[in-house]
């Protein structure tokens, strides 16, 4: 299998004055095209830092990120991010928020009418076309996150980065949105990298689960393949032995071998 | 009772089904006449209390100043003395013998010029100080000292520099109103959430697009706070500056009235100064509301 996104010996050391903290140590990961990979770990283990490094929002101290064999170290629309707190611009409407990215990415390749159609197409994908003229303050949290996903999708990223995308949502909305993301992945075949701290979410959505050890100097502790056929149905999986085994495996990793140590 | 129960079960058992269409609900529009009545009621609630207080204060003033030998004129005398000025604000007898409209318009022109300059320079400097840590370290202490200098203290220096009253007055307006604009803009720019910067980075906005599409809208509530304080300060400063530089203008009109012992004219002029200041403040506040389009809090 060919590597599509490759994390090559990434170390990250934060320096503040004389104090240095090693957050990530020797992270190596290869992701294939079209795969859905989750990164799971306790809070503070540097998952978000890792995602930011891939997105180009922070730079790795050593090592690098290769996308299609080319190093990427600055942010760009080929690695669109869905942020945890949606990060929609409150002064723009739903439509304008999505269009902001579309206008930049397709400035040369699409005409105005095509860009407009593309924005609406992506809003339709997340079922938010009806709210095109609403501002973020006028729609619910789940809807905002849908628009955030549409904004990222509309940039036609090579890799879609999800930073705890459902963390701030209530359980019902979260389940609903997880199903939507699964359907989108099925339909579009994106390569997706998701940060999460929810075991069920990781097992349900991912092809592979990357489990990280506790920080400081967090490493990749274990990578678990989830051999569940797609499309996956939430309810059927509840009794599926493979699902339960995978879930058990992740739980053991998180709560037995790498129990979260409360800072003194 | 069985039927509804099974129905519910069927619905909850298929959460993976297509998302239910989300229906936008619009509040039913109440009839026109009702809306007008409510509007009238709301207006009355706002307008009547200040009018009552105003009437009471005028009454007290009238009673206090009515006695013979009172230093200040009662409202009735003010009105009688200044009736001509009130009824004909547009006369122009040459020199500084003009109607109040011309005095106010001269002052407003100075404010408009000085304030526009300070808004442009203030926002530009504020963005610089807010964006660059080094600009902040270098400039902020300077600003903190300079902003405490009273407006009129600048006047002699600017007279020495410009050798003319008109540009000196405009400079005083400028230097008075610029500080709150700089400081508030800088705070606004510094407070742009990292998320918005990340969004801009991922979308790859260039610096100019970042300025117009992210920075200005995100900092707009702060900028308008600064602009609003600034317009108030400029109006405060112009009256004082004009008293000293002379010529046509509401400030010198007041000073001239004092020199000729026309106390009633002073009272009338103060009334106008207050109203104009209030209108200016509301103008900027209204403009801010339009520009930030109600997103200031979100």
Q: How far is A142 from chain B (nearest CA, A)?
A: 12
- Of the two residues B242 and A262, the one the predictor is more confident about is B242
Indicate yes or no: CB of A83 within 8 angstroms of CB of B203: no
Confidence of residue B197 (pLDDT cuts 50, 70, 90): very high
Check pLDDT > 70 for residue A129: yes
Chain B residues touching residue A129 (CB < 8 angstroms): none
Residue B251 belongs to what H/E stretch? helix B250-259
Chain B residues touching residue A77 (CB < 8 angstroms): 202-204
Helix count and strand count (H, E) for chain B: 12, 0
Residue A100 in contact with residue B213, Cβ under 8 Å? yes
**Among B17, B197, B202, B209, the residue to mutate for chain A (most A Cβ within 10 A):** B202
Give the residue from chain B lying closest to A142, CA to CA.
Answer: B22
For residue A132, give the 3-state DSSP assignment. Answer: coil
Long-range (24+ apart) CB contacts under 8 A made by A95-100 are A95/A119, A95/A120, A95/A123, A95/A132, A95/A133, A97/A136, A97/A147, A97/A151, A98/A122, A98/A123, A98/A147, A98/A150, A98/A151, A98/A154, A100/A151, A100/B199, A100/B203, A100/B213
Helix count and strand count (H, E) for chain A: 8, 10
Output the pLDDT for position A246.
92
Indicate yes or no: CB of A81 within 8 angstroms of CB of B196: no
What is the number of other CB atoms lying within 10 angstroms of the CB of residue A40? Answer: 25
Chain A residues touching residue B204 (CB < 8 angstroms): 75-77, 104
Q: How far is B121 from chain A (nearest CA, A)?
A: 25
Give chain B's largest Cα–Cα span. Answer: 95
Confidence of residue A262 (pLDDT cuts 50, 70, 90): low
Indicate yes or no: CB of A77 within 8 angstroms of CB of B201: no
d(CA B256, CA B265) in angstroms, rounded, equals 10
What is the number of other CB atoms lying within 10 angstroms of the CB of residue A229? Answer: 7
Residue B157 belongs to what H/E stretch? helix B151-162
Phi, psi angle pair for B205, to nearest 5°: -70, 140
Put the strands of the sheet holding A191-196 in their side by side order: A81-82, A159-163, A191-196, A36-40, A208-212, A220-225
Indicate yes or no: CB of A89 within 8 angstroms of CB of B196: yes
Indicate yes or no: CB of B199 within 8 angstroms of CB of A179: no
Check pLDDT > 70 for residue B46: yes
Check pLDDT > 50 for residue B17: no
Indicate yes or no: CB of A55 within 8 angstroms of CB of B214: no
Output the pLDDT for position B24.
61
Which of B15, B24, B193 minimises the CB distance to A175?
B15
Say which DSSP state A218 is in: B
Which residues of B touch chain A, with CB atoms under 8 Å apart? 13, 15-16, 19, 21-22, 24, 193, 195-196, 198-199, 201-205, 209, 213-214, 217-218, 220, 292-293, 295, 298
d(CA B102, CA B83) in angstroms, rounded, equals 17
**Among A80, A89, A126, the residue to mutate for chain B (most B Cβ within 10 A):** A89
Chain A residues touching residue B22 (CB < 8 angstroms): 127, 130-131, 143
A57 touches chain B (CB under 8 A): yes
Give the residue from chain A lying closest to B21, CA to CA.
Answer: A127
Phi, psi angle pair for B14, to nearest 5°: -125, 65
Residue B230 Rama label (left phi>0; alpha psi -120 to 50; beta): alpha
Output the pLDDT for position A173.
87
Half-sphere exposure of B175 (CA within 13 A, CB side): 20
- Pair type for strands A62-67 and A70-72: antiparallel
Measure the CA angle with vertex A110, ends A107 and A112; round to 5°: 80
Beta-strand ranges (E) seen in chain A are 5-16, 19-31, 36-40, 62-67, 70-72, 81-82, 159-163, 191-196, 208-212, 220-225
Indicate yes or no: CB of B298 within 8 angstroms of CB of A90: yes
Indicate yes or no: CB of A104 within 8 angstroms of CB of B195: no
d(CA A101, CA B203) in angstroms, rounded, equals 5
What pLDDT digit, counting tens, does each position of A145-171 carry? 999 999 999 998 999 999 988 887 888
Q: How far is A100 from chain B (nearest CA, A)?
A: 8
d(CA B215, CA A87) in angstroms, rounded, equals 15
What is the number of other CB atoms lying within 10 angstroms of the CB of residue A224? Answer: 19
Output the pLDDT for position B7.
46
A94 touches chain B (CB under 8 A): no
Measure the CA angle with vertex A201, ends A196 and A203; round to 5°: 105
What pLDDT digit, counting tens, does each position of A27-86 carry? 899 999 999 999 998 887 888 889 999 999 988 888 889 998 888 888 988 999 998 888
Indicate yes or no: CB of A89 within 8 angstroms of CB of B292: no
Say which DSSP state B152 is in: H
Chain A residues touching residue B209 (CB < 8 angstroms): 104
Indicate yes or no: CB of A75 within 8 angstroms of CB of B201: yes
Please give the share of chain A, as a percent, with pLDDT higher than 70: 97
Segment B146-162 shows an average pLDDT of 92
Residue B103 in contact with residue B250, Cβ under 8 Å? yes
What pLDDT digit, counting tens, does each position of A172-216 carry? 888 988 998 999 898 888 899 999 988 999 999 999 999 998 878
Q: How far is B128 from chain A (nearest CA, A)?
A: 22
Which of A81, A104, A131 minimises the CB distance to B204?
A104
Output the pLDDT for position B9.
45
Chain B residues touching residue A234 (CB < 8 angstroms): 15-16
Output the pLDDT for position B94.
79
Chain A residues touching residue B218 (CB < 8 angstroms): 89, 91
DSSP-assigned letters across all residues of B71-98: SS--HHHHHHHHHHHHH-TT-B-STT-B
A107 touches chain B (CB under 8 A): no
d(CA A162, CA A149) in angstroms, rounded, equals 9
**Among B20, B201, B203, the residue to mutate for chain A (most A Cβ within 10 A):** B203
Output the pLDDT for position B298.
41
């Amino acid at each position: 299998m060919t590597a599509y996104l490759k994390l090559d010996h990434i170390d990250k050391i934060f320096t503040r004055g004389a104090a240095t903290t090693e957050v990530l140590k020797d992270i190596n990961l290869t992701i294939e095209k079209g795969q859905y990979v989750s990164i799971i770990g306790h809070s503070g283990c540097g998952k978000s830092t890792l995602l930011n490094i891939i997105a180009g929002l922070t730079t790795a101290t050593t090592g690098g990120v290769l996308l299609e064999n080319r190093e990427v170290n600055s942010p760009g629309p080929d690695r669109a991010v869905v942020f945890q707190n949606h990060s929609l611009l409150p002064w723009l409407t739903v439509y304008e928020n999505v269009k902001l990215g579309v206008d930049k990415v397709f400035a040369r390749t699409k005409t105005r009418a095509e860009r407009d159609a593309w924005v609406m197409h992506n809003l339709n994908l997340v079922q938010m076309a009806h709210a095109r003229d609403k501002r973020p303050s006028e729609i619910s949290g789940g809807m905002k996150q849908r628009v955030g996903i549409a904004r990222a999708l509309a940039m036609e990223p090579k890799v879609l980065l999800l930073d705890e995308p459902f963390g701030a949502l209530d359980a019902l909305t979260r389940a609903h949105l997880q199903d939507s993301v699964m359907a989108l992945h099925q339909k579009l075949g994106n390569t997706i990298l998701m940060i999460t701290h929810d075991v069920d979410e990781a097992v349900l959505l991912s092809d592979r689960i990357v489990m990280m050890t506790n920080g400081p100097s967090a490493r990749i502790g274990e990578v678990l393949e989830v051999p569940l056929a797609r499309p996956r149905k939430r309810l059927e999986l509840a009794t599926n032995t493979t699902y339960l085994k995978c879930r058990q495996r992740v739980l053991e990793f998180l709560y037995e071998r790498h129990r979260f140590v409360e800072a003194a | 009772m069985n039927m509804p129960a099974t129905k519910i079960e069927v619905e909850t058992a298929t959460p993976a089904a297509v998302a239910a269409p989300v229906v936008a609900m619009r509040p039913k529009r109440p009839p026109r006449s009702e809306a007008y009545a409510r509007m009238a009621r709301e207006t009355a609630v706002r307008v009547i209390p200040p009018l009552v207080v105003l009437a009471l204060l005028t009454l007290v003033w009238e009673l206090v100043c009515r006695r013979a030998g009172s230093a200040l004129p009662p409202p009735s005398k003010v009105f009688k003395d200044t009736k001509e000025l009130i009824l004909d604000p547009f006369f122009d007898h040459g020199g500084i013998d003009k109607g109040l409209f011309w005095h106010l318009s001269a002052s407003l022109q100075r404010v408009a010029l000085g304030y526009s300059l300070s808004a442009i320079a203030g926002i530009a400097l504020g963005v610089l100080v807010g964006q660059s840590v080094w600009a902040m370290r270098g400039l902020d202490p300077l600003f903190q000292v300079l902003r405490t200098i009273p407006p009129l203290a600048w006047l002699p220096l600017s007279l020495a520099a410009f050798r003319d009253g008109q540009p000196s007055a405009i400079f005083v307006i400028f230097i008075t109103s610029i500080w709150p604009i700089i400081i508030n803009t800088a705070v606004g720019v510094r407070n742009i959430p990292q998320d918005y910067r990340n969004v801009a980075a991922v979308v790859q906005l260039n610096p100019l697009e970042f300025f117009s599409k992210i920075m200005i809208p995100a900092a707009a509530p702060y900028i308008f706070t600064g602009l609003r304080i600034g317009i108030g300060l400029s109006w405060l400063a112009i009256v004082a500056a004009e008293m000293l530089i002379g010529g046509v203008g509401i400030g010198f009109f007041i000073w001239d009235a004092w020199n000729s012992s026309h106390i009633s004219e002073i009272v009338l002029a103060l009334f106008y100064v207050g109203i104009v200041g209030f209108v200016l403040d509301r103008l900027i506040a209204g403009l801010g509301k339009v520009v930030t389009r109600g997103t200031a809090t979100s």
